Amino acid sequence: MEVPRKKAKTCPGDDTADDGATTSTAARRIAELRAELAKCKREHSRVVAELEREKIATEERHVQLVRNLNGALKWAYTVKAIPRDHWLEKGYTEEYADAMDEFQDRFKRIIKELRTGMVDGLISVTFRLLDHEDNNVTADHDDLLIPYWKEFADALIH
């Protein structure tokens, strides 16, 4: 006993009645979608490659920045402060020793700014001390200051 089959329901606007036209329209639409998908894949690959280049460049900048900061931190621990007693034992006044302490602090700050790229404009390394007639006193040469001058020169090149 055969059971009669139900007729398939059709959607409004369904153009299945003309068989061949539907097939070519569907095939054309599939081809369009495949072309669009291929285009999207190419664009995606291009964007991924561009982002990868940007990521690599950012990582390289980060590594360089860390190296620079490590260099600045390393410097901060390599040059030892000259104690006040050194100047007093050499016969200098308390005022001279104070001025030398300030000079060393200023030197460290300038070098750190140079190393970290925070200097903008003029750099001035000065020894500030006035005599009893308000004339500038010049700092005498001392071999213990040579590491500061070397670090300063390295920081300028940096």
For residues 74-85, one letter each, b for 16 or more C-beta atoms within 10 angstroms of the residue's C-beta and e for the rest, the string is ebeeebeebeee
Give 130-150 pLDDT, tens digit per residue: 888 888 888 889 999 998 899
Instruction: Say how far apart CA 131 and CA 145 lie, in whole Å.
Output: 22
Q: Give mean pLDDT, residues 21-28.
A: 84
User: Does residue 69 register a pLDDT over 80?
Assistant: no
Note if the pTM is more than 0.75.
no
Domain boundaries, the chain: 18-69, 79-158
Q: What percent of the chain has pLDDT over 70?
A: 82
